[in-house]
Amino acid sequence: MLNNYSTEDKVLLAVDCIIFGFDEESLKILLIKRDFEPEKGKWSLIGGFLKKEETLDIAAIRILNHLTGFQDIYMEQLYTFSKVDRDPVERTISTAYYALINIAEHDKELIQKYSAKWFDIAEAPKLIFDHDEMLDKAIKRLRYRASTKPIGFELLPQKFTMRQLQKLYEAILAEKLDKRNFINRINSFDVLVKLNEKDMKSSRKGSYLYMFDKNRYDKKVLNGFTFKI
């Protein structure tokens, strides 16, 4: 058993955050233009270093809040990246998280302040270090989670149309879904509340708005319910 920490190697521990958003048409990723060397001026994930008094989760929340102004964000630890040469400056291990936010509600002034920008996933630029690998793993995890848990609702406004919901899942899964089958599948879950309100932007007649009922979902899960798209 180790009894003298002073003889052990010291390494930096970073936290990198993959922030996903949805603009009612496509899945997006929030990137920041790096303002220091190395790789100054290139696009990067949002990140920072773990402080001595922090857990990894607390560090990720701090970093996300610093850029978006949000406290209560869906967030999940993704993977730890530890290649010896992943950072050319110093030996650095990074634990990556992915987060889901509603683009319409985030703090646009903070985004502009830090030279951050939303990119369509399909059009994202090449990223520094191993951030492309982080993004790829995050997309795969998001697709799996969204098909087995209702985390996709984190990317939508509180009230949404069925068309918005279908467009979201098509964006996440990167595939076209049959409208009738999708609606029937969603309705079979019985976790949405149909409102007596319409979104009049979509058509002359308008489209009914819905809300996700988390309490109903949680009760159904206790009884063995499985959410699967």
What backbone phi and psi angles, to 5 degrees, belong to 73? -120, 140
pLDDT for residue 3 is more than 70: no
pLDDT for residue 1 is more than 60: no
What backbone phi and psi angles, to 5 degrees, belong to 22? -140, 130
Domains of the chain with CATH codes? 12-148 (3.90.79.10), 158-222 (1.10.10.10)
Residue range 83-106, pLDDT digits in tens: 999 999 999 999 999 999 988 877
Amino acid (1-letter code) at residue 59: A
pLDDT attached to residue 115 = 78
Q: Count of CB atoms within 10 A of residue 23's CB?
A: 14
- The mean of the pLDDT values for the chain is 93
pLDDT for residue 75 is more than 60: yes
Residue range 140-176, pLDDT digits in tens: 999 999 999 999 999 999 999 999 999 999 999 999 9
Report the 3 state secondary structure along 29-95: EEEEECCCCCCCCCEECEEEECCCCCCHHHHHHHHHHHHHCCCCCEEEEEEEECCCCCCCCCCEEEE
From CA 164, how far away is CA 170, in angstroms rounded?
10
CB 144 within 8 A of CB 53: no
